[in-house]
């Protein structure tokens, strides 16, 4: 707004046209007019909606969430069957969305950072290959990639029946890693850990030792900075990682065992099935987002002045170490904000799960449930609110990070 301040008019009393021509009141006038227009608009929308709902004989209530869903979902992270409610189906979908989003963010970061760094490599072949990767994924719609990767995985991996051993003792395909992992066109079957109450104790100890490693590293850094003493970290970390867990594991009489997938009937049984729809969606999302992250990383690294690299080389650091200790930490400040917005994009893009039949929240709540109950208004509203909440949480986290980075600026 204009910041010109007129000399305050001498006492003339308040006149009506001051509301428009006096900068002191004008902003108020504008806002009130805007408010009225806005409220009228929303009132109009709501009024229309009510009239339309009435004309169609529909009501606005969320009771359908408590009704029996009647359809099955293949990947459930919480107990669910076709007798459960629509609300629970939505919850299953939400968890599935979160699962693929989290997995996708992790893999996309790994892929993106690798590709971004490798694209700057002096190796001509590798550099070109990464350029091809980045340009191919950035310039072709994600939906196409999801469909293609899904089809590719369906075509290129063996079907479960190929694992059958025929009379002569041959099979068209075999399991990997000592018969524990089977890659099929229905998904990857991996051993599932099985254990009773004692197993949780082992897991607890393991988590505690991870925490201990972090504490020890922190302590070592503090020592180094405060007293200049070098405290060894590598060996204690390794010891902490393995020893307590293994000791407890054997003391308790090996409470955790692995259930291996076995071929039986139509398919592998036992173990955990990571379905192809999940893998395809995961890979497609990660590779697509990874291509964008690669560009962000590359931009971040290029933004660090060449003097930094030269100084590091002058100190005798090799290029790998230079990257890890000098360039990346500085580049991170440039990289992180756009990186987080890529995470946000990935989470939103996971709604394309519909293309491969992955049962995310859009497929359950926003798809089958709406279709079976005819409650599109309520369903879409809930769906929108869920995505909005997630994205507000992520951008909230980003703002916190940005503020913290800002404080460090000198």
Subset of 347-386 contacting other proteins (CB under 8 A)? 348-349, 351-352, 354-355, 357, 359, 362-363, 366-368, 370-372, 374, 376-377, 380, 383-384
Choose which of 18, 180, 391, 402 interacts with other proteins (CB under 8 A): 391
Taking the C-alpha atoms of 26, 31, 37 and 40 in order, what is their torsion angle to the nearest 10 degrees? -130
Nearer to other proteins, 26 or 333 (CB): 26
Q: Which of 56, 177, 230, 234 binds other proteins (CB under 8 A)?
A: 56
Task: Please report how close the Cβ of residue 172 comes to other proteins at its closest, in angstroms.
Answer: 12
Least Å distance, CB 346 to other proteins, is: 11
| Nearest-approach distance from CB 383 to other proteins, in angstroms | 6
322 is a contact residue toward other proteins (CB under 8 A) = no
Instruction: Choose, by CB under 8 A, the member of 39, 110, 123, 310 that binds other proteins.
Output: 123
CB of 298 to other proteins, least distance (A): 13
Site for other proteins in 5-24 (CB under 8 A): 20
The minimum distance between CB 331 and other proteins, in angstroms, equals 19
Inter-CA distances, 196 with 169, 205, 324, 354, 357, Å:
37, 15, 42, 37, 34
Strand-pairing partners, residue 268, are: 263
Per CB under 8 A, 159 contacts other proteins = yes
Contacts with other proteins, 202-241, as mask; x by CB under 8 A: ----------------------------------------
Which of 150-158, 168-176, 220-228, 307-315 is the region at the interface with other proteins (rule: CB under 8 A)?
150-158
- What distance in Å separates the CA atoms of residue 183 and residue 274, rounded to the nearest whole number? 10
Segment lying near other proteins (by CB under 8 A), choices 55-63, 220-228, 238-246, 402-410: 55-63
The 10 Å Cβ neighbour count of residue 147 is 16
Map residues 248-287 to x or -, x wherever contact with other proteins holds by CB under 8 A. ----------------xxxx-x------xx----------
How far is 255 from 261, CA to CA, in rounded Å?
Answer: 19
Strand partners, 275: 187
Please choose, from the candidates 177, 173, 108, the residue with its C-alpha nearest in 3D space to the C-alpha of residue 347.
108
The piece of 147-155, 163-171, 198-206, 331-339 that touches other proteins (CB under 8 A) is 147-155
Q: Residue 59, interface with other proteins (CB under 8 A)?
A: no
Nearest distance, CB of residue 199 and other proteins, angstroms = 26
Binding characters for other proteins, 68-87, by CB under 8 A (x = yes): --xxxxx------xxx----
Contact call for residue 135 and other proteins (CB under 8 A): yes
Nearer to other proteins, 115 or 202 (CB): 115
Q: Does 192 bind other proteins (CB under 8 A)?
A: no
Please identify, using beta-carbon distances, which residue of 242 and 313 lies nearer to other proteins.
313
Nearer to other proteins, 1 or 407 (CB): 1
């Amino acid at each position: 707004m204009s910041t010109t301040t007129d000399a305050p008019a001498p006492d003339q009393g308040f006149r009506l046209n001051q509301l428009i021509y006096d900068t002191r009141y004008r902003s108020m006038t504008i806002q009130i007019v805007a408010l009225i227009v806005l409220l009228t608009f929303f009132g109009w929308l709501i009024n229309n909606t009510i009239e339309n709902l009435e004309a169609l004989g529909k009501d606005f209530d969320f009771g359908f969430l408590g009704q029996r869903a009647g359809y099955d979902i293949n990947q459930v992270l919480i107990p669910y069957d076709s007798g459960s409610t629509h609300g629970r189906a939505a919850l299953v979908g939400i968890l599935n969305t979160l699962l693929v989003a989290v997995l996708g963010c992790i893999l996309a970061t790994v892929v993106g950072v690798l590709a971004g760094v490798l694209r700057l490599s002096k190796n001509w072949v590798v550099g070109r290959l990464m350029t091809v990767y980045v340009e191919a994924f950035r310039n072709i719609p994600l939906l196409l990639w999801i469909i293609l990767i899904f089809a590719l995985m369906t075509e290129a991996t063996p079907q479960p029946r190929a694992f059958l051993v025929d009379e002569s003792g041959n099979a068209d395909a075999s399991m990997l890693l000592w018969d524990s992992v089977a890659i099929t066109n229905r998904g990857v079957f991996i051993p599932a850990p099985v254990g009773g109450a004692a197993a949780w104790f082992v897991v607890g100890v393991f988590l505690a030792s991870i925490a201990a490693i972090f504490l020890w590293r922190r302590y070592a850094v503090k020592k180094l900075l405060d007293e200049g003493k070098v405290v060894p970290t590598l060996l204690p970390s390794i010891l902490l990682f393995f020893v307590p867990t293994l000791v407890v594991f054997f003391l308790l009489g090996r409470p955790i065992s692995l259930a291996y997938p076995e071929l039986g009937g139509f398919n592998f049984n036992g173990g955990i099935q990571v379905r192809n729809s999940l893998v395809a969606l995961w890979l497609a999302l990660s590779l697509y987002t990874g291509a964008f992250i690669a560009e962000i990383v590359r931009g971040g690294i290029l933004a660090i002045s060449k003097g930094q690299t030269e100084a590091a080389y002058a100190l005798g650091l090799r290029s790998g170490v230079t990257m890890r200790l000098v360039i990346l930490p500085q580049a991170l400040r440039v990289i992180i904000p756009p990186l987080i917005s890529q995470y946000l994009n990935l989470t939103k893009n996971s709604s394309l799960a519909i293309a491969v039949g992955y049962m995310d929240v859009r497929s359950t709540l926003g798809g089958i449930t709406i279709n079976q109950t005819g409650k599109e208004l309520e369903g879409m509203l809930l769906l929108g609110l869920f995505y909005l909440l997630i994205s507000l949480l992520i951008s909230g986290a980003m703002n916190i990070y940005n503020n913290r980075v800002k404080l460090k600026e000198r």
